[in-house]
Structure 1
Amino acid sequence: MTKAEAGSASKLTDEEILAIPVLYRSTLSALSVARETSLDLGLVEYLETLSARAYFFVYGSRATLQDRLTSFFRNDWPNAVRGLWRETLISTALMLLGAAVAAWLVLHEPEWFYAFVPGELAGGRDPAASTEALRSTLDGSDGNGGLSVFAAFLFTHNAQVAILAFALGFALCLPTGMLILYNGATLGAFVALFASRGLGVEVGGWLLIHGVTELFAVILAGAAGFRIGWAVAFPGQKRRLDAAVEAGRTAAIVMGGVVVMLFFAGLLEGFGRQLVVHTGLRYGVAAFTALVWAAYFYFPRREARLGR
């Protein structure tokens, strides 16, 4: 072990590498005997330390951090997302349903807006605001940074929904479904308010420049929650706990990627929308990000070969 730790496994001969598992098992046997019969605590501590060093060599991963990250982004994350395609469709449908219902209600009765959008989230951008006031918040001409405060609040809100949708999935999918519906309703009510003043195209560009990434992250978090909840509710031939653990592995990989998506969404929200003020360019950025995520997750790719 001293020789291996001084450099790398490449310094060991073939005979030494083959001998390590045998010596490891012998050391464990010696440790067991020493604990039962020896009065020398130093010997016991030495064997425990040696066993621990050997354990990480025998069973530990040989992959470097760079290898793990490369494998995660190249294979693990996209494969996990593709494996949740049914749950992703359900999560998308629920968000669209919530947005459509809320938008319809607000367009027919503006007072419904207050039922879907909290006052601190609206920040005065509600049915009582004038059309010019709403327009000024989209182009930043109001002198208060436009909707920057609202955008930060909305990003935090969506991040919280994503985490809760995943974390509460074990409760038979019900809390996850309600959260996705509510998130869609909040978005739909907000868009409907601007659309009722003839600002639907402008607010769409304002939202989608970062919303494509941000909302897709929320949808994937909901899909991960649904996968766990479905495994708990319908484990099939497996034990309920085993089914939940297996589903949790896939869901955890997806959620690891969701964190990355929310990070990029934050960059787009903080910089992209402030630098890109033309509505057409905002839609162009939104379309580009949508194409990038679609290609990354769903376009066919060649699997990486071992040793290359």
Structure 2
Amino acid sequence: MTMLDAGFRGQDAGGPAPTIIGTSLEPRANVVLRSAEFRRGREESWRELDDLVQRVEKRGIRSVSADELQKMPLLYRSALSSLSVARSIALDRNLLRYLEGLTLRAYLVVYGPRTSLFAGLGQFFTRGFPAAVRKVGWHILISFAALVIGIVAGYLIVASDEEWFNAIVPDDLSDGRGPTVTAEELRRTELFAPWPGFKDAFIVFANYLFRHNSIVAILSFGLGFMAGVPTLLLMVYQGLILGAFIAIHAKRGVFVDFIGWLSIHGVTELGAFVLCGAAGLLVAEKILFPGRYTRLESLAIHGKQAAIIVGGSVAMLFIAGIIEGGFRQLVGVTSWRFAFAGVTAVLWFLYFMSGRKEEQHGLPT
């Protein structure tokens, strides 16, 4: 016995009659008759749709013919109409549950994605993410400019008075690096520290870096809802921290080694921060200047693009965490670190420029 058959058994066996809106005092026999008529006139199309959906669920979309594929949306809309009628006249609950389940399954088959999870991810990273980034060029420049302003300001402030370092850099980020640190300590414990091993490098430290950086990057995007001002301030503050570190290392004669140590992962990490800031500025722009749409409509249209940028940026931060947590200390020569950073920068540039020809020729990305 199917769920559809069970939906009416209680009525046929003398169970409680359903309440029909506006006719609660109508004779019981008339209620049962109405329910039976409702089922008899539509049951065949329900069963046909159920059979098609089951075949697709078990054997895939290729298990149905072209004619059946064209017929499926019509059967789905018919079942949806039946569900609407059934709810309005309060038919048996089992039947309502059956129709709700059937229409939900049919919706996923008719209108659901036609690609697998891995195919969808492949589409996202090969076309969606680079295309979304290319559309926010001015936002990227503004976000990058805010970061550079912070770096310059942080460097000048700490270079003039190193005591400002402790006021700018949080304790959990300074990790003992401050006005009292020596050049030898920086070389031994930071710039050329020995590799800590696979577990500490790739699992413990890389995981910490990824979580911390992801929170900051997503916050940069989320603050875009407040007209973008907090996003820019956060980008400036991130620059202040970096500028403070540059000043400490420069005054101890290890500026070049520090930039090499930073660049090996900084190309990817700072790039992700800038992109998240750009996504926040995109949201701010569409809220402040919605154009011919309402603010809510404009946010719905362009919010997807911003979310794609943030999703891809988080993936970049994962890569940066792996590089910073493990590979950075494996590359112990400053010149090699610069070379690694240069190759990384070229690869990211080529990645984000991929697909431009398809866009220029009007092909979908």
**TM-score w.r.t. structure 1 length?**
0.90
- Say if 2:214 is the partner of 1:162: no
Matched residue, 1:11: 63
Higher Cα Rg, which structure:
2
Amino acid in the other structure paired with 1:82:
R
Amino acid in the other structure paired with 2:81:
S
Change in 2 beyond 3 A, CA 1:160/1:26: closer
Using the TM superposition, give the Cα deviation of residue 47 of structure 1 relative to its aligned residue in structure 2, in angstroms.
2.2
Matched residue, 1:267: 322
How many aligned positions are there?
301
SS in 2 for 1:260: helix
Using the TM superposition, give the Cα deviation of residue 133 of structure 1 relative to its aligned residue in structure 2, in angstroms.
2.0
Amino acid in the other structure paired with 1:289:
T
Q: Residues of 1 paired with 2:121 and 2:131: CA distance?
A: 14
Using the TM superposition, give the Cα deviation of residue 60 of structure 1 relative to its aligned residue in structure 2, in angstroms.
1.1
- Say if 2:158 is the partner of 1:103: no
Using the TM superposition, give the Cα deviation of residue 150 of structure 1 relative to its aligned residue in structure 2, in angstroms.
9.8
Counterpart pick for 2:265 among 210, 214, 218? 210
Preserved contact between residue 132 and residue 305 of structure 2 (Cα < 8 Å): yes
Counterpart pick for 1:277 among 306, 325, 332? 332
Amino acid in the other structure paired with 1:11:
S
Q: Residues of 2 paired with 1:22 and 1:204: CA distance?
A: 63
Question: What 5-or-longer segments of structure 2 have no aligned partner?
Answer: 1-52
Using the TM superposition, give the Cα deviation of residue 302 of structure 1 relative to its aligned residue in structure 2, in angstroms.
4.3
SS in 1 for 2:166: helix
Matched residue, 1:172: 227
* Aligned-pair identity (%): 45
Preserved contact between residue 121 and residue 154 of structure 1 (Cα < 8 Å): no
- Say if 2:121 is the partner of 1:61: no
Change in 2 beyond 3 A, CA 1:26/1:281: same
Matched residue, 2:92: 40
Counterpart pick for 1:198 among 253, 256, 263? 253
Amino acid in the other structure paired with 1:12:
V
Q: Residues of 2 paired with 1:208 and 1:151: CA distance?
A: 16
Question: What 5-or-longer segments of structure 1 have no aligned partner?
Answer: none
Matched residue, 1:79: 131
Q: Residues of 2 paired with 1:47 and 1:152: CA distance?
A: 46
Matched residue, 1:113: 165
- Cα deviation digits, residues 33-57 of structure 1 (max 9, x gap): 3334464333332222222221111
Q: Residues of 2 paired with 1:227 and 1:82: CA distance?
A: 13
Preserved contact between residue 205 and residue 325 of structure 2 (Cα < 8 Å): no
Computed over aligned residues only, the root mean square deviation of the Cα atoms, in angstroms, reads: 2.4
- Say if 2:230 is the partner of 1:230: no
Preserved contact between residue 122 and residue 150 of structure 1 (Cα < 8 Å): no
Matched residue, 1:139: 192
Q: Residues of 2 paired with 1:300 and 1:19: CA distance?
A: 37
- Cα deviation digits, residues 162-184 of structure 1 (max 9, x gap): 12101111000011001000001
Using the TM superposition, give the Cα deviation of residue 266 of structure 1 relative to its aligned residue in structure 2, in angstroms.
0.7
SS in 1 for 2:62: helix
- Say if 2:178 is the partner of 1:123: no
Preserved contact between residue 121 and residue 150 of structure 1 (Cα < 8 Å): no
